[in-house]
């Protein structure tokens, strides 16, 4: 009986893993498709943001994201989270956030004073998905 439960749990974990892998595969090239929207289509921001690239987000996940960051060739280069500092200090936690890709080569965390969409001081948490990603998103 116990063995049966363990097998079921293992299968469930495996199937979830496959589903997640499939989902992230679909996000590797721009545009990622619904429910993602291009940030510059819905907010007054440049199409390509130096340092962040072309961003897509599911509106329901604002402000934290994830924001999917694509380079000029439409390759997924980073996953970005934006967490308001006041909300964090007030006890808000942003848990179990999705990732655009399971491969992460480095992470940058830095302060941002605000911009349309997240117009309060917040942190940018940037997960780069390959070693050259930061360079491709720079300009």
62 binds another protein (CB under 8 A): no
Site string for another protein, 76-115 (x = CB under 8 A): ----------------------------------xxxxxx
- Pick between residue 33 and residue 46 the one whose CB is nearest to another protein: 46
Listed in order, strand segments (DSSP E) in the chain are: 37-38, 54-57, 67-70, 76-84, 106-112, 122-128
The piece of 6-14, 73-81, 96-104, 120-128 that touches another protein (CB under 8 A) is: 120-128
Query: For residue 100, which phi and psi values (nearest 5 degrees)?
Result: -75, -30
Question: Contact, 64 vs 83, CB < 8 A?
Answer: yes
Residues that bind another protein (CB under 8 A): 44-46, 49-52, 110-116, 119-121, 124
């Amino acid at each position: 009986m116990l063995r049966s439960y363990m097998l079921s749990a293992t299968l469930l974990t495996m199937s979830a893993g496959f589903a997640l892998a499939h989902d992230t595969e679909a996000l590797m090239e721009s545009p990622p498709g619904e429910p993602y929207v291009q940030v510059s289509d819905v907010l007054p921001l440049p199409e390509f943001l130096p340092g962040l690239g072309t961003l897509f987000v599911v509106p329901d996940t604002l402000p934290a994201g994830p924001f999917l960051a694509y380079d000029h060739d439409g390759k997924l280069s980073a996953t970005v989270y934006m967490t308001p500092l006041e909300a964090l200090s007030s006890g808000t936690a942003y848990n179990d956030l999705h990732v655009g890709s399971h491969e992460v080569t480095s992470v940058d965390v830095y302060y941002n004073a605000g911009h349309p969409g997240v117009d309060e001081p917040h942190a940018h948490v940037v997960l780069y998905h390959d070693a050259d990603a930061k360079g491709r998103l720079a300009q």
